[in-house]
């Protein structure tokens, strides 16, 4: 698939500077793009690479337009424009409709026209699969599941009974949706399992990364709202709620009943403890542990900087004595306020 730079601008916006007839077949990086490829500059630190690029054309902001004589697509947000151009040149594959003979389909499962179910997949009783949906090889779809139109489950996805996935979802291999939440009651030192009676409800246009797990609710459903993007190997505990258009990076975890608002971002490796509430428009830096609810939008960071081991050990030892230091400072302040000074 190929478009001229002028055609791309007409479809996606932006302004062409230079040869609008240049043909673009693919995207590329400033360092490695060649003929027929378009690169982008979104960070001023890489201006030197712009001067040396061999791309056929570049996407730039207005402040960088004069830095190159190549054909340019000038726009307000080059990275966003790059994403749109990449999607234009690399459209999602459409499923070839049909049910593989080696798929196992329950007699009362309803699979809409235009859907695809691949080899080794199993679809249990009472499930509905929408038009244009694509169920990859080896997927297991439990009883009473609903999967919306044009959603794609890559090979090896497991969806437990009673869960719902909206339209145009993408679920990558190894994801498990609807396993039991971690619910146990202590009976004199022995753990008694609490039945997990809820399900998982996932909205439209959600993407779920490989190896991510979303537990079913204990009583009510775990809820993932429209447009949420989950990276690989994320844990979403039972009864969590994730607001629309929130994005969570890899290896993060939400403990049970955590509620995250809309348009939030959570960095890789971060943890939100259970039963906390994060308001809309909060941005949590990587490796941050959230230990109390957040009521104000903004960026929150709890990262402990790394250092050489010896320096880290010394600093950690000092941290352990902060409580004693605080007590000494308070005592000195009390004595000074009372008119006393430390003996010489």
More confident residue, 304 or 216: 216
The CATH number for 8's domain is 3.40.1390.10
pLDDT, position 190: 97
Q: What are phi and psi of 185, to 5 degrees?
A: -115, 140
pLDDT band at 312 (very low <50, low <70, confident <90, very high): confident
Q: What is the pLDDT of residues 169-178, one digit of tens each?
A: 999 999 999 9
pLDDT band at 339 (very low <50, low <70, confident <90, very high): confident
Percent of the chain with pLDDT over 90: 89
How high is the pLDDT of residue 342?
55
Span 22-45, mean pLDDT?
Answer: 94
Q: Are residues 330 and 293 in the same domain?
A: no
Q: For residue 220, give the nearest of 182, 255, 257 by alpha carbon.
A: 257
Q: pLDDT at position 343, please?
A: 58
Which of 35, 67, 89 delimits the end of a domain?
A: 89
Same domain, 169 and 256: yes
Is the domain of 76 the same as that of 160? no
4-18, 180-194, 250-264, 308-322: which has the minimum mean pLDDT? 308-322
If asked whether residues 313 and 291 sit together in one domain, one would say no
Do both 125 and 167 map to the same domain? yes
Residues 119 and 246 in one domain: yes
The yes-or-no verdict on residue 225 having pLDDT over 60 is yes
Q: Are residues 242 and 317 in the same domain?
A: no
- Could you tell me the pTM of the whole model? 0.89
Our measurement of the distance from residue 202's CA atom to the centroid of its chain's CA atoms, rounded to an integer in Å, reads 14
Nearest-10 crossing angle of helices 322-337, 309-320? 50
pLDDT band for 46, please (50, 70, 90 cuts): confident
Domain boundary among the residues 25, 55, 89 is at: 89
The last residue of one of the domains, among 72, 89, 106, is 89
Q: For strands 15-17 and 72-74, give the pairing.
A: antiparallel
Domains in the chain, number: 3
DSSP SS3 for 202? strand
Within this chain, do residues 194 and 214 fall inside the same structural domain, yes or no?
Answer: yes
d(Cα 257, Cα 296) in Å, to the nearest integer?
Answer: 20
Please write down the HEC assignment for all residues of 305-323.
CCCCHHHHHHHHHHHHCHH
Q: Provide, rounded to the nearest whole percent, the portion of the chain with pLDDT above 70.
A: 99
Query: In the structure encoding, which two tokens stand for residue 168, read together?
Result: 């145009």
Position 146 pLDDT exceeds 90: yes
Q: Assess whether 190 and 295 both reside in one domain.
A: yes
Residue 156's pLDDT is 98
CATH of the domain at 164: 2.160.10.10
Residues 183 and 282 in one domain: yes
pLDDT at position 239 is 97
Q: Is the pLDDT of residue 344 over 60?
A: no
Given this model, what pLDDT does residue 328 score? 93
Whether 149 and 213 share a structural domain: yes
Burial 44-62 (b: 16+ CB within 10 A, else e): eebeeebeebebbbbbbbe
The catalytic residue positions are 238
169 & 258 share domain:
yes
- For residue 48, pLDDT over 90 is answered with no
As a whole number, mean pLDDT of residues 292-321 equals: 90
Residue 315 belongs to domain spanning: 309-344
């Amino acid at each position: 698939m190929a478009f001229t730079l002028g055609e791309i601008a007409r479809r996606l916006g932006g302004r062409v500077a230079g040869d609008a007839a240049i043909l673009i077949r693919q995207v590329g990086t400033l360092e490695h793009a060649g003929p027929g490829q378009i690169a982008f500059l979104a960070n001023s630190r890489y201006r030197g690479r712009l001067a040396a690029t061999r791309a056929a054309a570049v996407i730039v902001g207005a402040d960088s337009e004069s830095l190159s004589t190549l054909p340019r697509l000038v726009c307000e947000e080059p990275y966003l424009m790059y994403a749109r151009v990449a999607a234009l040149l690399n459209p999602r594959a459409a499923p070839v409709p049909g049910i593989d003979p080696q798929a196992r389909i329950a007699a009362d499962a309803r699979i809409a026209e235009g859907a695809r179910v691949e080899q080794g997949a199993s679809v249990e009783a009472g499930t509905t699969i929408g038009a244009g949906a694509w169920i990859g090889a080896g997927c297991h779809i439990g009883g009473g599941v609903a999967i919306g139109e044009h959603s794609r489950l890559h090979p090896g996805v497991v969806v437990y009974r009673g869960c719902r996935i909206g339209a145009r979802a993408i679920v990558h291999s190894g994801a498990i949706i609807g396993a039991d939440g971690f619910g146990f009651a202590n009976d004199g030192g022995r753990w008694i399992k609490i039945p997990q009676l809820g399900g998982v409800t996932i909205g439209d246009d959600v993407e779920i990364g490989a190896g991510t797990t979303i537990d079913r609710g204990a009583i009510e459903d775990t809820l993932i709202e429209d447009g949420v993007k989950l990276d690989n190997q994320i844990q979403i505990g039972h009864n969590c709620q994730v607001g629309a258009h929130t994005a969570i990076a890899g290896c993060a975890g939400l403990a049970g009943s955590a509620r995250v608002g809309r348009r939030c971002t959570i960095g890789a490796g971060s943890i939100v403890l259970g039963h906390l509430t994060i308001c809309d428009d909060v941005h949590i830096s990587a490796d941050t542990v959230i230990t109390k609810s957040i009521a104000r939008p903004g960026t929150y960071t709890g990262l402990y900087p790394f250092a050489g081991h010896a320096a880290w050990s010394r600093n950690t030892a000092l941290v352990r004595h902060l409580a004693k230091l605080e007590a000494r400072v308070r005592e000195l302040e009390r004595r000074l306020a009372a008119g006393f000074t430390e003996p010489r």
